Structure 1
Amino acid sequence: MRRVDVSWGTPRPERADAARNRQHLLATAREMLAEGADRLTMDSLAERSGLGKGTVFRRFGTRAGVFQALLDDGERAFQAEVLAGPPPLGPGAAPLDRLIAYGRARIRFMLEYHEIARAALDSRQPIPAGAQTPMSQTHIRMLLGRIDLGPADLDLLAIQLTAALDGPLLLYVSAAEVRHAERQLTEGWRDLVQRVCRPRPGQP
């Protein structure tokens, strides 16, 4: 599988024409997705967009690459909310509140992008768990570091919590269940985080 490579910095600059083509192709792909994911192929994307097949293949490589680009574009918008949006998802709230809010927002994002995320997978590779989402792991590790958890292995805990967020959404939630899964998953995340971050004996 091609990893979702979402940095925490400014994206590498593109030529103006390349950036316009990318945005046009992504907008066209979203229009086609609204009509059904099966309608989105490399040939149909080239035809609908009015761009050459060579441009589409150079940009995305494969059909899975189109979905990967859509997912990456959504990830960048999500990242902006985490970094600079209003609290509690963005800065300004207590770390535990931010951790709970992050999980809720991440679950909503993954449910919204569920079909896209699955289509972005290389069919030769297994569906990944949370280790494939470096953004979540980095952010969760940062928030855990601001909570007094005693002698916990925060790196390992961040990996486990990341897997609890993203893994089940790709592994176990079917397309038919997506609409009904959000409440259960968000409540489960809140309970998990509150238990993990519960003050130890002797702590305030």
Structure 2
Amino acid sequence: MSPKHTNSLSDRESETAKRRTGRPAFPRELVLAAADGLFADASAPKAVTMDDIAAAAGVGKGTLFRAFGSRDGLLDALFMARAAPLRDELEREDSRMGPSVPPLERVLAVLDELALFKLNNQHLAAAREQPGTRLLRSPHYVWTHETLAALIGAIGPEAAESADYWAHVLLGALRVDLIDELLAAGRPADGIRHDLDALARRLLTPAIDRGPAG
């Protein structure tokens, strides 16, 4: 598993930053909350600009670019912060996707949680999953893909051989533009989750017969 990320300075780091610069430490959580609100309220999330976020958070636009590098970088940070509970669940023994769950069932549980995450964060996904934004290299996609591929690989040797590709395929079924299209066509959220589960079972179940990965 990838190391957990933290989005806040410790009290000591914060005080050190104040002494060095004479200014308060960067209000990261406030900025992320302001951005989240703007994307959630926007009729076209891709139209939300760094100027809008800076104004809502009460910081300078240059400060945002220094902190996040770009609008996509800010969205990536927001995604990673929102996904923190999901990462924690992967480590909990009593979780439905924890380490003691059988490999296939663990993959299915993770996919369902990812589907719920996408359904509950469509505004963020719509803002981030734009053509030309190098989505597959974003931190949240890289973490999600690597985690899912590792879980698939634990199913058996055949699954391990194709885990990288299969993880991309299953994540592709969670693209927000596809989800939006299905919802608009009348497919309910629970139906989308059911279809994803059926797809994953059809793809991965045959690999179990090969035995556990060595």
Please give the range of the TM-score, normalised by the shorter of the 2 chains: 0.7 to 0.9
Q: Which runs of 5+ in 1 are unaligned?
A: 1-6
Identity %, equivalent residues:
23
Counting matched residue pairs gives 192
1:168 counterpart (147, 168, 173): 173
TM-score (ref. length: structure 2): 0.70
Q: Which amino acid aligns with 2:209?
A: R
Instruction: Find the partner of 1:183 among 181, 190, 193.
Output: 190
Residue 28 of structure 2 corresponds to: 22
For structure 2, list consecutive stretches of 5 or more residues without a partner in the other structure. 18-23
1:153, distance to aligned residue in structure 2 (A): 5.2
Change (3 A) 1:86 1:161: farther
**1:9 has 2:3 as partner:** yes
**1:8 aligned partner, one-letter code:** S
Higher relative contact order at CA 8 Å, sep ≥6: structure 1 or structure 2?
A: 1
Q: What is the TM-score of this pair, normalised by structure 1? A: 0.72
Q: Does 1:66 align with 2:74?
A: yes
> What are the Cα deviations for residues 101-158 of structure 1, in whole angstroms up to 9, with x where unaligned?
11111111123333323422564357659xx8333333334334443x4x515142x2
User: In the alignment, which residue of structure 2 is the partner of 1:200?
Assistant: 209
Whether 1:44 and 2:31 are equivalent positions in the alignment is: no
1:111 corresponds to 2:119:
yes
Letter in 2 for 1:138: E
